[in-house]
Structure 1
Amino acid sequence: MVKKVYLLAVMLLISVSVYAQGNSKSERIVSLNGTITEILCDLGLQNQLVGVDITSTYPAAMEKIPKVGHNRNIGAEAVLALRPTTILGVRSNGSMDIKPEVVQQFKSAGVKTLIFDQETSVAGTKKLIGDVARAFGASAKAALLIRKLDADLAKIRKPAKPQKVLFIYARGTGTMTVAGRNTSIEKIIQLAGAQNAFNDFESFKPLTPEALVSGNPDVILLFTSGLESLGGIDGLLKVQGVAQTNAGRNRRVIEMDGQLLTGFSPRLGLAIQELSRKLNPELSLKN
């Protein structure tokens, strides 16, 4: 009798385990933030993603995942059509990426919706990795990601004299803005050992020739897609005021992938390494 009870208990445990595994594999996740998507993939949850927003450009396998639009303009219908069991987004530096009414629609539809706080800093990146991992029972993997991030950061060398960097957000010559204080761009510029060209305003403001001349940056930084929209460096130099800056005269223009540069993802250390290397090619990384 005891043996039969024991066998029944073992079979029950096996059944529960199989059921739990089945539920885990049947999770259908929609990520509405590129950094969240990167973290999920690094945690081994890539196969559970059934939809992502257009900022989810990394890893390359995300090209094959259905896109639901940009996180700031997401419509609930497109997301819910993918029959998600969990929807993920972020509140970046206190500002919600997804419209609150859309989040409410997700919740009203009975879909588990998790909004994580993201602070664009090294500590904030580590916290976000840990928070996402805990939500999926993967804290052990998070520790490995954070250890790798620390190792990447330890290799960065900063110059004795910081250069003045101007970031231009461009979508063709008709849409050009520059970054001021309290932006993710300013923070990563500082982490790379440089200084932002403008600190007399917050967020972004339209680019003007007068601002370019007064800021007089040593280096101009753009997303790769932004520089392409202007026709490359030669196209950028035709923008009024650019050629009159130190950066323009010396053709000191740096381009980087947008998600890598501003995502503050597990690749943050690699992003700072790349920016630092492009700013200061004479400096080698620490071994």
Structure 2
Amino acid sequence: MSMKFFFLSILLFITGNIYSRQRIVSLNGAISEMLCALGLENAIVGVDVTSNYPASLLQKNKVGHNRTISAEGILALRPTLVLGMKDQLKPEVAEQLSAANVKVHLLPQEYSVAGTRSLLVQVANATGAGEKAKQVEAAFSKQYLALHVTPVKKKVLFIYARGTGSMMVSGTGTPVDKMIQLAGAQNAVTEFTGFKQLSAESLVAANPDVILLFDSGLQSIGGADGLLKVPGVAQTNAGRNKKVVSMDGQFLSGFGLRLPEAVNELNKKLNQ
């Protein structure tokens, strides 16, 4: 083999590896967390705003919130693969990405322990990390089986707040509703599914023992003192006993690999 041919072969090998590397944009915090656990953090070139764990993801390029993301912002990062959740990315954006020869996988998510396992398998299949996923899934299952949930004889009301002018309460079927159940408690509102606007009358009627919010939501209304000023709150058991619990939004409702930790933390806070 001539030296010229040898060096040409090396060059082609290196170039081929460069172009075969995955460049991934993740549009969901749970997916980003799983990509990192699968050893693919270096392949991530962009993330949405919910991708805040591990903390190193905060250094990645941001493409916005999944429901308001544009194709241009993603394409600027030259991705080979975009991963997100079904019903969270606008169809026209997904079509624009596909038209630009970018692989797009929009995955279904079930808010359960089995749903987290299923999401991990889907992320692994999309990225070719099946073998590593077996190890990650085994560690996740071991952690969940070791979890001890102390029953909570309390009704919990989750309020999604973005300032006092924008407050919604969770009924059934939401990620937070599922988390309340996994943590051994009861959702204070079961008359409807999804979210509805908070009213003083419905708040008093629900009469929760605990009010649960995202950390950011509680901050947006002035903390626990601000919450107590919301009409109807002071007339509930939670208001009278000043029983307010808050947690990081993605940690509480993301249903990623930290699910056992989130259930454990919520259970402990509700039992305090």
Q: Is the structural similarity TM-score above 0.5?
A: yes
The residue correspondences of 1:113-262 to structure 2 (distance < 5 A) are 113-160=104-151, 162-262=153-253
Match of 1:38 among 24, 33, 37: 33
Distance in 1, Cα, partners of 2:94 & 2:151 = 47
Distance 1:121 1:16, change over 3 A: farther
Match of 1:79 among 60, 74, 81: 74
What TM-score results when the alignment is normalised by the length of structure 1? 0.87
Distance in 2, Cα, partners of 1:143 & 1:187 = 25
Task: Point out where structure 1 has 5 or more consecutive residues left out of the alignment.
Answer: 5-11, 282-287
Deviations along 1:175-217, one digit per CA (max 9) or x if unpaired, are 1000001111110110010011101011000111111100000
Distance in 1, Cα, partners of 2:179 & 2:115 = 13
Tell me by how many angstroms 1:15 deviates. 9.9
Tell me by how many angstroms 1:39 deviates. 0.6
Letter in 1 for 2:124: A
Confirm or deny that 1:273 pairs with 2:270: no
Letter in 2 for 1:226: G
SS at match of 2:50: coil
Judge which range, 131-140 or 82-91, deviates more.
131-140
Task: Point out where structure 2 has 5 or more consecutive residues left out of the alignment.
Answer: 2-8
What TM-score results when the alignment is normalised by the length of structure 2? 0.92
Letter in 2 for 1:174: G
**Percentage of identical aligned residues:** 54
Tell me by how many angstroms 1:148 deviates. 2.2
Confirm or deny that 1:66 pairs with 2:61: yes
RMSD: 1.9
Distance in 1, Cα, partners of 2:255 & 2:151 = 25
- 1:168·1:177 contact (CA, 8 Å) conserved in 2? yes
Tell me by how many angstroms 1:55 deviates. 1.1
- 2:149·2:264 contact (CA, 8 Å) conserved in 1? no
Confirm or deny that 1:110 pairs with 2:105: no
SS at match of 2:22: coil
Distance 1:160 1:45, change over 3 A: closer
Tell me by how many angstroms 1:22 deviates. 4.3
Tell me by how many angstroms 1:159 deviates. 3.6
Distance in 2, Cα, partners of 1:17 & 1:267 = 39
Deviations along 1:67-95, one digit per CA (max 9) or x if unpaired, are 1110011111111111111111112xxxx
When the two structures are aligned, how many residues end up with a matched partner? 265
The equivalent of 1:284 in structure 2 is none
The equivalent of 1:29 in structure 2 is 24
- 1:33·1:56 contact (CA, 8 Å) conserved in 2? yes
Distance in 2, Cα, partners of 1:144 & 1:21 = 26
Tell me by how many angstroms 1:131 deviates. 1.2
